[in-house]
Each structure stands twice: as structure tokens, then as C-alpha cells.
Amino acid sequence: MNTGHLFRLVEDEAIEVIDLKLCNLFGGYHHISLPAKKLNDDLFKRGIGVDSSSIPGFKTAGVSDMSLLPDPSTSVIDPFGERRTLTLLGSLIDAETGEPFRLDPRYIVQRAEDYMIETGIADRSQWGPEFEFYIFEAVHINNRINEAYYNIESAEAGWHNQDFSDDDDSSLIPRKGGYHVTPPRDRYFNLRDRMSAVIEQYGIPVKYHHHEVGGSGQSEIEIELLPALQACDAVMAVKYIAKNLARQAGYSVTFMPKPLYNEAGSGMHFHQHLFNGDTPLFYDGTGYYGLSQSALYYIGGLLKHGPALLAVTNPSTNSYRRLLPGFEAPVKAVFGPGNRAAAVRIPKYANKPMEKRIEFRPPDATCNPYLAVAAQLMAGIDGIINEIDPSEHGFGPYDSDITGSSLEKADEIPSLPSSLDEAIEALQEDHDFLMKGDVFTADFFDNWFSKLKNDIRMVHSRPHPYEMEMYFNV
């Protein structure tokens, strides 16, 4: 949509508020709201002033004044404002020079795509994130000097509080027993369906939605594949929509990777493939499960750089409570057809040339989607450029869950990090592939490592509630 169409939309739809949104370095949303009369050509040329040093992750030496430049192609009517509101995503530019801000996540993923085009490998990539999340009746969290606890209530679960129960135990879902259950056991079908309808209103095509494995309100919404920047914008929109609709209905939604002990975790798997014009680069009818040699090299890049990637795609201490054996979560750097315990899965049902793709399964929703997509793309490109054969590096293929393999055999299979500390160490040792084409910069790594290491310190410095049970009586 160009600005002329946008101005007409504002008039035709009686828009009263213009809401500009941006994403910080760590995936958080921010917004600034303007009267609709402030929408003019100058806003799209110069933007509106922002203090970048007050936005998490954007602090750089001697630079704070930025301008937020709205992207007219992202405009959509926001259903959550009391007044008629048009929302647009924006990118940050230097207020003086007009140059793009190097730490702006939207710019980083655009640079990754530009680098891909510069290599001549492909001219576009397509991405399909999956959204797994939990819906709870109530959540209480407290962390103080003398107490630390969280309490979660779920009407679907067997451990639910009577205050949140309809006394119908026949419809309770057992642990890890929620996959594709139907109403009345699927108590959140209508809420999830409303989420899907609003997502479609945002112009984001929904593939399907269903109850996920977690028997305590776990849901999934999957969207169709989109170009890289649009897919990342869609991640931010879907989380925004889900949280707002849940709040309106009196529920809490969390995309946290592991909110419940010994229950299924929530990931954000990324389906991905490359194209040159209309030619799909991941398809070869004679190749392994229909994959081209380029696709296999791309997989090799993802898995070789997998330990480092996880510091970007799984950047929370909680991420590694999900990546455990027995929960369909990857713990080994392997690939295989239809193998949901593999880090890279080859969907068997995607067997047509335009559908042929791979799925990277480790990521979760604590990631910044723009950075996660950019990092995966850079790893895959590096695999193609350097012809990294995944089989030669011991990454498979494996067509079954290898977590139950004998210890001797399992030790021979490359592992993914089991903690955020390990992932940070891997990224510190292996990040040159991300800096090619000036996609990720030294400022990024300084700010990124500082934040992640501080998160680790904050968790490690606190007594764990379970430690009280284990050690209080020593």
C-alpha cells in the first residue's frame, strides 16, 4: 500500500489514531500513538523522533537520537483500541543522516536477504513459523527476598483448582494427552478460533489451528509461508493478537518455552526454503526425500552452526528446560524425514517442487524473530557456499528418534547446547558467518552477550524453590 492509498484509508475508515510500533533488539514491542491528522508525507520521509538509548538493546556509543520511519505496507486496523486505530510497523533511521540503524531488527533481516541476493544463491526466501503457546485461567508470580513462587491454574488439567473448575472431570486432559482433542475437552477452541480470525484480518494467512500435546491448555496456530520480513512482522502481530484477545476473555497466554514441569514445552519451529524467481532451490526429484544438493548443504550449515545459532534462536535460560529428551524436542544436531526429535525435519507431506522445504525445530518464542530468521538464513547460506555436507559431519540422516539410542552411539552424535551458557560460548567461538555482508555487527554482539549473561546471573543468584525441598534440612 502506498501513502496515497493510506491517506484515503484513514479518511474512508474514519481513523482517529495512528499507532506506530517497533521491535527492540530482544523481541519486545514498543509503540507511540499520534492523532490521525499527524499522518502526512513528512512522517514517511523523516519519521518521528525516538530516544533509542531508552529502548532495550539499542544503546550505542554517542548515538541516541533516532527517527521511527513507518512502513506503509504494514498498515492494518487495530481492533484493540477504544478509538478507531490504524497501526503501522516502523524501522529506525539516524535522525541526522537518515541512514538505517544497524541494530534495528527489521533492518538486520533485510540485510540478510540482501546478502543472500549478493551471493547469487537465491533472490528470495520463504518462512513459516509455528506458534505454540499455553492458555491458562490464572497465573500468579512472586519473587522477593523471603519468598519465590509461581502458581498456574488450568481448567483442562487434572491438578486444577476448584475455583477454576466446572466439576466435570470427564473432560480433563491427561498430561501430554492434548494433541488434536476436540471440544468439550478442547475448552479454548473458540478463543483460538477468534485469534485465527483476527490474524487473518491482519492479512496473515492461517494454515490451521488446533490443541497441542500439552494437556493443560497448550495450543498451536500455524500460518502459511511468507517472505522473510513479512514472516517476522507476522510473528510480532500473532503474539500481540493472542495476548490481547486472551486478556479480553479473562485468560493468560504465554509463549514461554517451558512454563510447566514435566509437560510439553512450546517451540517456534521455522519452515524455510529458497527460490530464484519461480524456481524452488530445495527440490530435486532424484535427491534424498526430494531434496536438492543445495538444500542438503543448507541443512549442513544450519547444523554445523547449530550450537551458535541457539544463542540467537533460544536466548533464554528457560529455553533449555524445553530441549530435553522425551518431549519431541531436539537435543541432537541431526536431520531426518518426518523425525520430530531431529533439529532439522524434512516434512514428508511437502513433496511437490514449490512445497519442498525444511523445518528447523529448536527455536522458541523467546527469540527475536527478525534475528532468528536472519541467523538461520546466514547459517544456511554459509552451508551452501562452503558445501557443508551434513552426512559427512555426522548429522544423519536419522529417520527415528535417536534420543533412545545406546549411550555409546548417542555420544557419537553431535549435540545441541543444554544450557544458555553453552550456547553463548558456542556463539562467541563461531559468529564470523553472521558478520558476512555486515548483517550482524560488533555492537550487536556486545549488547546481545551483555543481556544474556545478565539473565543467567539473575537466575543463578537466586535460591531455587526446589532447592528448599532438597537442602533445607542439611
pLDDT at 29 over 90: yes
Look at the alpha carbons of 238, 216, 272, 100 in this order and tell me if their dihedral is positive or negative: positive
pLDDT at 170 over 80: no
pLDDT at 175 over 80: no
> Is 8 a known active-site residue?
no
> Is 180 a known active-site residue?
no
Which one is catalytic: 78, 104, 132, 284? Answer: 132
Burial of 152 (0-12, 13-18, 19+ CB in 10 A): buried
What is the rounded CA–CA span in Å between residue 398 and residue 224? 27
What is the rounded CA–CA span in Å between residue 92 and residue 85? 22
Nearest to 373 by CA among 8, 77, 113: 113
Domain boundaries, the chain: 3-101, 124-471
Whole-number pLDDT of residue 311: 98
pLDDT at 408 over 60: no
Which one is catalytic: 357, 361, 364, 431? Answer: 361
pLDDT at 462 over 90: yes
Distance of alpha carbon 140 from its chain centroid, rounded?
Answer: 25
What is the rounded CA–CA span in Å between residue 395 and residue 335? 6
Which one is catalytic: 156, 220, 263, 284? Answer: 220
Asked, as a colleague might, if the bond just before 397 is cis with ω within 30 of 0, I would say: yes
Whole-number pLDDT of residue 403: 59
Whole-number pLDDT of residue 455: 97
pLDDT at 36 over 70: yes
Q: Which residue has the cell 520521509?
A: 45
> Is 340 a known active-site residue?
yes
For residues 418 and 403, is the Cβ–Cβ distance under 8 A? no
pTM of the shown model: 0.95
Grid cell at residue 244:
490481547
What is the rounded CA–CA span in Å between residue 111 and residue 385? 17
In CATH terms, 3-101 corresponds, of 1.10.150.120, 3.10.20.70, 1.10.760.10, 3.30.70.260, to: 3.10.20.70
Nearest to 95 by CA among 63, 72, 120: 63
Grid cell at residue 136:
491458562
> Is 140 a known active-site residue?
no
Averaged pLDDT of the chain: 92
User: Residue 313 is inside which H or E element, if any?
Assistant: helix 306-313
Query: Could you confirm whether domain 124-471 is CATH 3.30.590.10?
Result: yes
Q: Calculate what percentage of the chain has a pLDDT beyond 70.
A: 93
pLDDT at 447 over 90: yes
> Is 361 a known active-site residue?
yes
DSSP letters for 286-311 = TSGGGB-HHHHHHHHHHHHTHHHHHH
Nearest to 135 by CA among 175, 188, 68: 188
Whole-number pLDDT of residue 412: 75
The whole-number average pLDDT for the span 47-52 is: 90
Which one is catalytic: 359, 364, 382, 431? Answer: 359
What is the rounded CA–CA span in Å between residue 128 and residue 312? 18
For residues 193 and 91, is the Cβ–Cβ distance under 8 A? no
Which one is catalytic: 8, 83, 180, 340? Answer: 340
Residue 16 sits at φ, ψ, to 5 deg, of -110, -25
Which one is catalytic: 212, 263, 284, 364? Answer: 212
> Is 111 a known active-site residue?
no
Which one is catalytic: 113, 130, 186, 364? Answer: 130
> Is 130 a known active-site residue?
yes
Count of all residues that appear for the chain in the document: 474
Which one is catalytic: 51, 96, 118, 467? Answer: 51
> What count of Cα atoms within 13 Å lies in the side-chain half-sphere of residue 133?
27
pLDDT tens digit sequence for 309-352? 999 999 999 999 999 988 888 999 999 997 677 999 999 889 89
Grid cell at residue 93:
533511521
Nearest to 273 by CA among 119, 109, 121: 121
Asked, as a colleague might, if the bond just before 184 is cis with ω within 30 of 0, I would say: yes
Q: Which residue has the cell 493478537?
A: 241
Which one is catalytic: 192, 269, 271, 305? Answer: 269
Q: Which residue has the cell 487434572?
A: 158
